[in-house]
Structure 1
């Protein structure tokens, strides 16, 4: 608990004057009061386990109570929360543009001043580990018999993921990044004496066992040399040639361990290519315009300590329909559709069968086909329904 025991009891006990403010009991019929009041201690227990982060602030500005979800969201212990007041200077909160929120604009201050609730207040909050989260807060007063605001109850939710997803959907641009690492990052099987090899990373599909299927292609190696080289990279297994056309070879490989390509994907972007030269390897990928490139660099450094950013370009990337469809699909449906497309399932003749792809995912062919049909239906619904709305 965060605060003195008397404060908590006064706020949560039922059948007392303090509870009158919380319950807003009618004065007309005492029998109605009895039916509306919860059993002893139930209000406090419900408050504790509520899925919404909630804190209670007294008239001195002290946080006298925080429920379990609030402790999780703020990443502080109950004792640490109890040592703070609501003032912005103690929480490092800011508006969207980074401007600190002054105390007189803080919703809790306004509720104490006006006695009116404040709903839908949005702001950034810096957590103890330095990360920032986007919160939406709703604040409501609890008045005493003299109609004075005695407490303010603040409920808040972390909607950072929703905000970032919305920013990606509304963004017309991506950033194309190129990172460089020295020769130590190049597997012996892929080292070149002169010139360079470019390997396109077409797609990375997640599997249920935390492995991935990666689809890659190149015009710089023969089909046999390409397959042999990738097979010699330790984290790739089950490498197979999908097609060779006009000197361009495409392969499918199962990655049993994490790879650099997954770094871009984990940040909402896409890996694009790996360029291998005599004394270096370069990783090319795209990230949404609102994602800090330093996050990608940190991810790649898990594999190669000496990586550095060597170029950055802003590129137009109208992926709105793809993002909307991807959001509508389950992870399994999206992975199934990705694998079917890049493995050549839709080509004539097929370079991958439904049975082969089902084996990759560890499911029956019937289950694979169900996921694929549902994914296709969702894509077509978004395509044709959007056309109908616009015509």
Structure 2
């Protein structure tokens, strides 16, 4: 910007009286002294000159002076604006506005007093030029000392100053750019976010920051914008190397399996990786510049209580400067779901030991933490299961245990009769529904539960649905679950020896619920409950006050033994039936009146899952003992699955007589219907009732052995022991080898021997222990 006055101002020095000219030259000499041979700072020189300048004017005592350099003001005491001031203005190349104003404190516009002398006008014009030159030289020198590029724009966004570094960054000559509009020199940034940021900085008069890739130079440039009313300064810096290093760091951060959060020394978040976004449930945009102690973070300890600020790991690191590892806490995400995290928090220190940055590494421990809590939840269940005397006690107590924690908000146990088809009414155990809080509306029973419940009964596997499970075969059940406000549901079969005695229905608001390990734990839990339900049912039969004895007759050829007996005109006495692999049942039976070879031929054409094996045989009369594997092809099996105790199962000439016992309280009508559905040509011949009497001592010992067998041997041990007994393994000489029996049970010989030895050890050790 040029000086305000005309180019002939220097001629004004020749006007005025000699005395006026002398004063003007003395003032000029002093200005040259202060501003060209400077030994002090520019500001100090200006302040000195302001206080001295009035003495060289016509009326020193009534003259006041103000010099403005940018936003800095230097003035004599008592300076007040008046009419007709003597003013001159200029602007440096870098856009700094400079002005000098001189006023007469006693002058009024109507006094007719003499106007300013021309020599006085010439003086302030010359002094302004000196100050502008010195300020400009100082600014340019300062900008040259900056390693970054510097550009100065006027109020029309035209280049008024560029240093050589900016010339290199922009790739154009300084002289060609000076006076050009900013986007003429930097066209690729026009109509981009850069233009928007620059305009915002000017409108708000506040510094702004942006990064831009300069394709012509293949450089990343970082720019800081400093606006003022008269000009705008932009400081450029080449950050290409930093960007390259940052991309490498980004690759590391994005491939690490843990969440990384970077904070500055004050605890403000400056950066997060994708894993941290996922774990915290927020986007980078929302978390950027957010404090670690922001009230929006809902974190809590293992008891569910909010973590005080003084105990927060970041607070402790800022206070002590020491690393904290394995800080376990829960967090409630914005969608209401909960997650468990383990945090490692470490400071990054400067050379002087002060904290420059804080790094937080987050690991998701929700699954193991939930399993740990679930194990703790299920631990008291052992006491319930060990002490329960009825199934009703078990159902109510277990459901309450499961919903007293944060794991499940709803639980229900429904009983089921093994071997029967599931009905919708089996799920309507409304009195046993238990919810964690009043917010859960009871009862929760839906027709949508029936298909997965059927699958649980048929397969013996736990069935689950979750919010994230989009490929489920039970989509209607999933939709129902979500509609009820839950995140997932599970139906756990309560089974023993592959027979389902009940269903445990669970719902939860945990988004990550029912993973593989949790399902395994629930399956194990379901097996334990199923074993107890089976034991209680057996106890009810054995210790019933009154027992019903049912006698069935059947000529139904769907039974393998009925069909074979009819063809061979023989008698077959089924001694025992033992579950084996793949739903196969191994039958041990004695045969009288028929050749075992002939029976074997019939077995080869029948739907048998394992060949008939002769354990012993006689030629005259023909017969012997056999082992054969079948699948649901005997009347006795149907009764045992339904909970009856078979005491006799003999088939003669195609007619079977089967006698069983059931507690009088059982639904005998349903039992008969179930038998006749499987074998229609079956008739209930008689029913009688009796009250069991007190057993003699020999029977009491047998009862002890029976209890040990049922409750303390594993299912596999029970199968092996029974097969060895009825296969003649314990006889001398042995009628079956270990290999033969192992083959029948689909086991290796070594596995058979291992389970047999353990079964014998447990049986006799516990028998002798109880006898003392």
Q: TM-score, normalised by structure 2?
A: 0.32
Deviation string 1:177-205 (CA, Å, 9 cap, x unpaired) is 32333455575542289xx9653221112
The aligned counterpart of 1:387 is 771
The correspondence for 1:165, drawn from 532, 535, 553, is 535
The superposition leaves residues 157-187 of structure 1 with CA deviations (integer Å, 9 ceiling, x where unpaired) of 9746524423423642465432333455575
Structure 1 gap ranges (5+): 1-8, 86-130, 138-156
Asked if the contact 2:548–2:662 (Cα under 8 Å) also holds between the matched residues in 1, the reply is yes
| 1:336 aligns to 2:720 (yes or no) | yes
Q: For 1:251, which of 608, 615, 625 is the aligned residue? A: 625
Per-residue CA deviation, residues 259-294 of structure 1 (Å, 9 max, x unaligned), is: 223223334544444444678543333456675445
SS in structure 1 of the partner of residue 575 of structure 2: strand
What are the within-5 Å matches in structure 2 for residues 283-362 of structure 1? 283-287=658-662, 292-293=667-668, 296-297=671-672, 299-301=674-676, 303-314=678-689, 316=692, 319=703, 321-362=705-746
Secondary structure of the residue aligned to 2:770 is helix
Equivalent residue for 2:579, pick from 175, 190, 206: 206
1:372 aligns with 2:756: yes
Q: State the partner residue of 1:177.
A: 550
After superposition, the Cα gap between the structure-2 partners of 1:225 and 1:175, relative to the gap in structure 1 and judged at 3 Å, is farther
Deviation of 1:355 after TM superposition, in Å, equals: 2.9
Structure 1 residues 340 and 65: alpha-carbon distance in aligned structure 2, compared to 1, 3 A threshold: closer
Q: Give 1:383 shift.
A: 0.9
Q: Distance in 1 between matches of 2:768 and 2:619?
A: 33
- Tell me the residue number matched to 2:612: 238
1:214 is displaced (CA, Å) by 1.2
Q: Residues of 1 paired with 2:582 and 2:734: CA distance?
A: 26
Contact map agreement 1:205 1:213 (CA 8 A) in 2 = yes
Change (3 A) 1:240 1:40: same
Answering whether residue 305 of structure 2 is matched by residue 25 of structure 1, we say: yes
Gapped runs of 5+ residues in structure 2? 1-280, 282-293, 314-326, 341-365, 375-401, 410-434, 454-461, 466-473, 486-499, 507-524
Q: CA deviation at 1:40?
A: 4.1
Provide closer, same or farther for how the CA distance between residues 22 and 78 of structure 1 changes in structure 2, counting only shifts above 3 A: farther
**How does 1:95-110 map onto structure 2 within 5 Å?**
none
- Count of residues in Structure 1 that have an aligned counterpart in Structure 2: 305
Query: Which of 43, 47, 50 is 2:338 aligned to?
Result: 43
Give the deviation of 1:64 after TM superposition.
12
Partner of 2:477: 77
Paired with 2:566 and 2:443, the residues of 1 have a C-alpha distance of 63
Is the 8 Å Cα contact of residues 242 and 343 (structure 1) preserved in structure 2? no
Conserved? CA contact 1:333–1:375, under 8 Å: yes
Structure 1 residues 23, 200: CA separation in 2 closer, same or farther (over 3 Å shift)? Answer: same
8 Å contact from structure 2 (residues 729, 736) kept in 1: yes
The 5 A counterparts of 1:95-134 are none
Whole-angstrom distance in 2 between the partners of 1:306 and 1:58: 53
Shift of 1:257: 2.8
In structure 1, the residue matched to 2:257 is: none
Checking the alignment, whether the CA contact within 8 Å between 2:300 and 2:329 is kept in structure 1 is no
| CA distance in 1 between partners of 2:586 and 2:502 (Å) | 32
Task: Identify which range, 258-267 or 314-323, moves more after superposition.
Answer: 314-323
Deviation at 1:377, TM superposition (A): 0.6
Structure 1 residue 341 displacement after superposition: 0.8
Instruction: For 1:248 and 1:15, locate their aligned partners in 2 and report how far apart those are by CA, in whole Å.
Output: 89
SS of the equivalent of 2:587 reads strand
Evaluate the alpha carbon distance shift between residue 379 and residue 165 of structure 1 in structure 2; reply closer, same or farther with a 3 A threshold: same
- Shift of the 320–43 alpha-carbon distance from structure 1 to 2, 3 Å rule, reads farther
Q: Is the 8 A contact 2:298 2:331 kept in 1?
A: no
What's the CA shift for 1:300? 3.5
Change (3 A) 1:383 1:250: farther
SS at match of 2:730: coil
Instruction: Say if 1:176 and 1:313, in contact at 8 Å, map to a contact too.
Output: yes
Q: Tell me which moved more, 339-348 or 236-245.
A: 236-245
Measure, in 2, the Cα distance between the counterparts of 1:179 and 1:356.
34
Number of the residue aligned with 1:90: none
Change in 2 beyond 3 A, CA 1:326/1:83: same
| Cα-Cα RMSD | 5.2
Whole-angstrom distance in 2 between the partners of 1:211 and 1:160? 20
The equivalent of 1:108 in structure 2 is none
**Equivalent in the alignment of 2:121:** none
Give the equivalent residue in structure 1 for 2:641: 266
> 1:386 Cα shift?
0.6
Asked whether the equivalents of residues 574 and 650 of structure 2 are also in contact (C-alpha less than 8 Å), the reply is: no
Seen in structure 2, the aligned counterparts of structure 1 residues 294 and 245 have a Cα distance that, compared at 3 Å, is: farther
CA contact (8 A) 1:241 1:249 kept: no
Matched residue SS, 1:191: helix
> 1:65–1:253: structure 2 CA closer, same or farther, 3 Å change rule?
closer
Q: 1:356 to 1:373 in 2, by over 3 A?
A: same
In 2, Cα distance between the equivalents of 1:303 and 1:230?
25
Q: 1:64 to 1:281 in 2, by over 3 A?
A: closer
Q: Distance in 2 between matches of 1:79 and 1:251?
A: 56
Bigger radius of gyration: 2
C-alpha contact (below 8 Å) 1:180/1:282 kept by paired residues: yes
- Structure 2 vs 1, CA of residues 271 and 243 (structure 1 numbering), >3 Å: closer, same or farther? farther
